[in-house]
Amino acid sequence: MHDLFYSRGVAVVGASSNPAKPGYKIIENMVTQGYSYGIFPVNPRLESVLGLRCYRSVLDIDDNVDLVVFVVPAPEVLRIVEEELSARKRTRGDVKGVVVIGGGFKEMGEEGAAKELHMKGELRSLGIRLIGPNCQGLINTETGLNTTFDMNIKPRRGGVSVITQSGALGNGILRMAATRGHFGIDKFISFGNMGDVDAAEAIDYLSGLQTTRVIAAYIEDVPDGRAFYESMRRAAGRKPVVILKPGRTRLGAQAALSHTGALAGEDLIWDAAIRQAGALRAYTLKEFYDAVRVLEKLPPLRGPNIAVLTVVGGPGTLCVDRIHSSRCLRMARLSDVSKERLRRILAPVANVGRPEGYVDMTGSVTEELHYEALKIVLEDGGVDGVIFLEEPPTYLSERWASEVVRAYSEQDPARAKPVVATVVAGDAVYDHIRILEEGGIPVFEHPEAAVDAIDKAAEYHLRTSCGGKRAAGGDLRHQIHAISRRSARASRAGG
Amino acid sequence: MHDLFYSRGVAVVGASSNPAKPGYKIIENMVTQGYSYGIFPVNPRLESVLGLRCYRSVLDIDDNVDLVVFVVPAPEVLRIVEEELSARKRTRGDVKGVVVIGGGFKEMGEEGAAKELHMKGELRSLGIRLIGPNCQGLINTETGLNTTFDMNIKPRRGGVSVITQSGALGNGILRMAATRGHFGIDKFISFGNMGDVDAAEAIDYLSGLQTTRVIAAYIEDVPDGRAFYESMRRAAGRKPVVILKPGRTRLGAQAALSHTGALAGEDLIWDAAIRQAGALRAYTLKEFYDAVRVLEKLPPLRGPNIAVLTVVGGPGTLCVDRIHSSRCLRMARLSDVSKERLRRILAPVANVGRPEGYVDMTGSVTEELHYEALKIVLEDGGVDGVIFLEEPPTYLSERWASEVVRAYSEQDPARAKPVVATVVAGDAVYDHIRILEEGGIPVFEHPEAAVDAIDKAAEYHLRTSCGGKRAAGGDLRHQIHAISRRSARASRAGG
């Protein structure tokens, strides 16, 4: 895995001079994102792509090529692997992995599955690892490696590594994170049909990386349930692992979908397995994405006590409501000293402590009070985290946001408490949101989403017995093994 | 109510020349939003505000004044009501209502409650209706009336009327709707402490308006549970009424919050009352807002059968999953003819009908196919609505969106089927989203949100026995009456 993510030299077979084609986009991505090593377009009909010399064949490339990306049809991939890669491997011995972007393999039924099996066999005998087919491949923001296409977005470096069985879903996550400044990316792997490198191997690799602080995985099925479980367990001991797993099996398997009873049971086993491994399961894309945001951006929550500091009554009420019905959180008890300090600085109309842990500064608040009130709440020993809510007037939004960030960032890093914000304002105060996000405070549009995200983070940080769903009974290992066998059968059936 | 929303002539008592003050913002709003009648700033210390002549007192205004907006402190409001409004009412008889923006009344405890009671008595004896105190007041997009402040946004005219007990929450909804083009506003009323005009009266008024297609109400408590129930019932027979009601009582009532048992029971009664009235209850701001978007923008859903047309596998899978676990929806069965037509035009890698009602066009789709495939699905008699999912490359996004809108808008208006879209892309394809929204197709960022919104709409359109939560047992009227008495006690206690 390391050799693939840190490939020195990438050949793109099926390079194109048409900006609408993946064979152009991939090269463009790596050029604009400053890939540190050689980029080698391969297409016998072109002289150059984006100013780079274009090669007739991978055999003609004199420099080191660790990775070959295929953006040609399936039969062409097979031919090139058999004729050219094997020759290159014999003579230069440098190619360590291939990314096969296109489909036309297992997902197409029996004939495609045979092609895929054949390709896998050839590559294995050459000692070359396979990503895909039918995928977006790899990103490593450390080296600028990026085999995805259609993005037109440069992911910022950061602590999230994404593993995805759906290239489109992974792409969507990259786009949301990049355009909203929600989090940065360390590694990204979209492996489509998982012909060779699979989720378990990817999780194992990422769990050992210092630069990966959170592992986010979208999984539809796994070839080996036990190996996947063990990889989750090992990784979750070191860092948060968030899993988005659709509740039912792959859409392709129509027959399976009609057996919802069996599938619902299987889903409970997934539930139990993820929980027992110490990983976090998300049930919707929003829950998945929001949990990842909070886990990457914020210091750990050290206890369940949340203070709500608000400028707005209605959203504040909805927030307290959601905390009451959350699994892991409760309203903090502010000390009498803190309450007294808050009452002294805030306007008489402000509400300090009704209910406990709730402070409504009301619309009469000033920018100085933003700073001072958040300081007081963060310094209270009974508070483990803060949810801050406001809807600033346009002309005050930047100044208010800066004061919130100032109070947040003046915390002692070793004992810092997380703060999340809620701003119900659409795109009306974009700069306010940007300042908070850049200052390390995740901003949510709805109060309930802020609570849900920090609740999910609490599930990890508090190693929690928050009272979630109970694990399914029975021998878990046995059940996981059964899933794995069923999955394998479905795969063989072309599902 | 009509006289208030269609006020001819508005005086703003407490007008200001400081652009940061509500006494300036309100006047600015009405000037820039083209209010059709006279705007009369009142402040004895100013000559003019925004080029408008400023009056020393409401008594000095020679023109017709239907509405007086107070942006002065509570004692000042009382004095002006007693001294000036009563004199004006005797002499000219024109003032029909007042909006009291500021707080300092019931929400401040006993002393404030006494002030509020006194003010209410004075106004009642003068035959003047009261909006507020402690509120944002009124918007009527038909006349440009707008007593809210801090918005800096002009709401587009449209079919949603908003009733809110939290000015901030209402403001947030206006901002989200306006900046994202989600829906337009007909009327807006934020009545804060509900000193006089209350939710029941507002719902009754809005239910009779042709221009209001959806009523969206954020309610924390009501003075008269029975009147509120009856107004919901009457309105819900004519148009969708969506209620966001926090699950517990007002934050202010700390004592009440410690009796969660009692409150949870009360919440069940709310649940049953809203359901029995034929209104829709939302439990989170997102659910509330998204349901309103779909109900305003789309033609009615005539049955539960949803087809999923996708370009992206992972989000498509999550979407089907959510439909399976929705309350009112199920996957449509496409006819064999439709499936054959789709298979003929789509690429061989496309998935038509696994599972039933699911069509994955795959990334190989063209702009023409967007149009043709959506046409075929919409024309299928077994389909009641469509969820469309994609994440277009930037350079294709506008053309693809236009083709989707073309297919959607070519439907016979009398039998049109709703289409909602999901685009998992953050702000990366903003124009794509804008074209879809302007073309009448609501766009969601997450597939589950799209399903949830159309599921909520189905609850209304199918007058549904979708199998939601059961109504609480017992005599409902009795229980509503009990809530109402408890609310009244809490109000008297200054909650």
In the stretch 17-36 of chain B, residues with CB closer than 8 A to chain A read 19-20, 25
Angle between helices A367-379 and A336-345 (to 10 degrees): 180
What tokens were used for A248? 């039912």
Question: A270 CB contacts (<8 Å, ≥6 apart)?
Answer: A245, A281, A483
**Average pLDDT rounded to a whole number, residues A324-332:** 91
Verify whether the Cβ–Cβ distance A251 to B104 is below 8 Å: no
Residue B464 pLDDT: 55
Q: Cα separations (Å) of B480 from B268, B484, B487?
A: 11, 6, 10
CB B164 within 8 A of CB A314: yes
Residue B482 pLDDT: 52
What tokens were used for A287? 């829950």
Residue B131 has pLDDT above 60, yes or no: yes
Residue B484 pLDDT: 52
What tokens were used for A450? 């802020």
- Give the count of domains, chain A: 1
**Average pLDDT rounded to a whole number, residues B329-351:** 94
Q: Cα separations (Å) of B8 from B137, B158, B162, B457?
A: 16, 22, 22, 37
Contact of A493 with chain B, judged by CB distance below 8 Å, is answered with: no
Q: Is residue A212 part of a domain?
A: no
Contact of A446 with chain B, judged by CB distance below 8 Å, is answered with: yes
pLDDT tier at A365 (50, 70, 90 boundaries)? confident
Residues of A in contact with B285 (CB under 8 A): 315, 318, 424, 446-448
Q: A52-67, pLDDT tens digit by residue?
A: 999 999 999 999 999 9
Question: A127 CB contacts (<8 Å, ≥6 apart)?
Answer: A89
Nearest Cα of chain A lies from the Cα of B111 at a distance, in angstroms, of: 13
**Average pLDDT rounded to a whole number, residues A116-129:** 94
Q: Is residue B338 part of a domain?
A: yes
Residue A470 pLDDT: 31
Confidence (pTM): 0.90
Contact of A44 with chain B, judged by CB distance below 8 Å, is answered with: no
pLDDT tier at A200 (50, 70, 90 boundaries)? very high
Mutate to test the interface with B, among A107, A150, A263, A367 (most CBs of B within 10 A): A150
Contact of A345 with chain B, judged by CB distance below 8 Å, is answered with: no
Task: Round to whole Å and give the CA distance between A86 and A127.
Answer: 10
Q: Which of A138-152, A300-314, B205-219 has the lowest mean pLDDT?
A: A138-152
Residues of A in contact with B317 (CB under 8 A): 166, 220, 246, 250-251
Task: Round to whole Å and give the CA distance between B74 and B90.
Answer: 23
ipTM of the complex: 0.89
Residues of B in contact with A285 (CB under 8 A): 315, 318, 424, 446-448
Task: Round to whole Å and give the CA distance between A217 and B336.
Answer: 37
Q: In which residue are the tokens 């859409």 written?
A: A251
Verify whether the Cβ–Cβ distance A166 to B312 is below 8 Å: yes
Residue A248 has pLDDT above 70, yes or no: no
Q: Is residue B104 part of a domain?
A: no
Q: A36-57, pLDDT tens digit by residue?
A: 899 999 999 999 999 999 999 9
Task: Round to whole Å and give the CA distance between A364 and A350.
Answer: 8
Task: With CA atoms as reference, report the closest residue to A194 among A416, A475, A488.
Answer: A488
**Average pLDDT rounded to a whole number, residues B17-38:** 92
Q: A70-95, pLDDT tens digit by residue?
A: 999 999 999 999 999 999 999 998 99
Residues of A in contact with B247 (CB under 8 A): 321, 324-325
By Cβ distance, the residue of B317, B426, B446 closest to A246 is B317
Q: Is residue A170 part of a domain?
A: no
Contact of B361 with chain A, judged by CB distance below 8 Å, is answered with: no
Average pLDDT of the residues of chain A: 88
Residue B483 has pLDDT above 90, yes or no: no
Residue A109 pLDDT: 78
In the stretch 373-392 of chain B, residues with CB closer than 8 A to chain A read 391
Scanning every residue of chain B, which has its alpha carbon at the shortest distance from the alpha carbon of A252? Answer: B354
Say which DSSP state B55 is in: B
Q: Is residue A33 part of a domain?
A: no
Share of chain B above pLDDT 90, in %: 70
Q: Is residue B132 part of a domain?
A: no
CATH number, domain of B372, equals 3.40.50.261
Verify whether the Cβ–Cβ distance A175 to B358 is below 8 Å: no
Verify whether the Cβ–Cβ distance A425 to B363 is below 8 Å: no
Task: Round to whole Å and give the CA distance between B35 and B141.
Answer: 9
Question: B196 CB contacts (<8 Å, ≥6 apart)?
Answer: B120, B123, B124, B129, B130, B131
Task: Round to whole Å and give the CA distance between B312 and B425.
Answer: 12
Task: Round to whole Å and give the CA distance between A10 and A129.
Answer: 14
Helix runs in A325-366, H state only: 336-345
pLDDT tier at A349 (50, 70, 90 boundaries)? confident
- Residues forming a β-bridge with B330: B305
Residue B477 pLDDT: 47
Q: In which residue are the tokens 């290992």 written?
A: A477
Q: Is residue A49 part of a domain?
A: no
Q: Is residue B164 part of a domain?
A: no
Residue B255 pLDDT: 34
Q: B80-110, pLDDT tens digit by residue?
A: 999 999 999 999 989 999 999 988 888 777 8
Nearest Cα of chain B lies from the Cα of A309 at a distance, in angstroms, of: 13
Domain range enclosing A407: 302-461
Task: With CA atoms as reference, report the closest residue to B28 among B65, B71, B58, B92.
Answer: B71
Helix (H, G, I), strand (E, B) or coil at B236: helix
